[in-house]
Amino acid sequence: MENKIPKQDKDSYSIDSIEKIDAAIAHEINNPLSFVIANLKKLKQYTNRVFLLVEAYEKTDVSPESSRANIFSR
């Protein structure tokens, strides 16, 4: 006895499978994208802090000559 699936049911199964694959692909794309977007604000905050630190460092005189002068002036 051969079990035959009607063509309409086969088409329904195919569409269902394609929809599942489509949903899985969309999930795999959206998941990392959401992570990146969610962390952009924090990244901006951290980079601003680094720039402030670099700016403060550039304002200080850290040359070897000034360091030696500070050591000998004590």
Give residue limits of the domains in the chain: 7-72
pLDDT of residue 50: 94
Terminal C-alpha separation, the chain: 103
Q: What is the C-alpha R_g of the chain?
A: 32
The runs of H, that is alpha helices, within the chain are 7-59, 64-72
Give per-residue pLDDT as tens, 18-62: 888 988 888 888 888 888 888 999 999 999 999 999 998 888 866
**pTM (two decimals):** 0.43
Q: 4-26, pLDDT tens digit by residue?
A: 666 676 677 788 888 889 888 88
pLDDT attached to residue 1: 46
For residue 64, give both structure tokens. 């070897």
As to burial, measured by CB atoms within 10 angstroms (0-12 exposed, 13-18 middle, 19+ buried), residue 29 is exposed
- Alpha-carbon span 32 to 56, nearest angstrom: 35
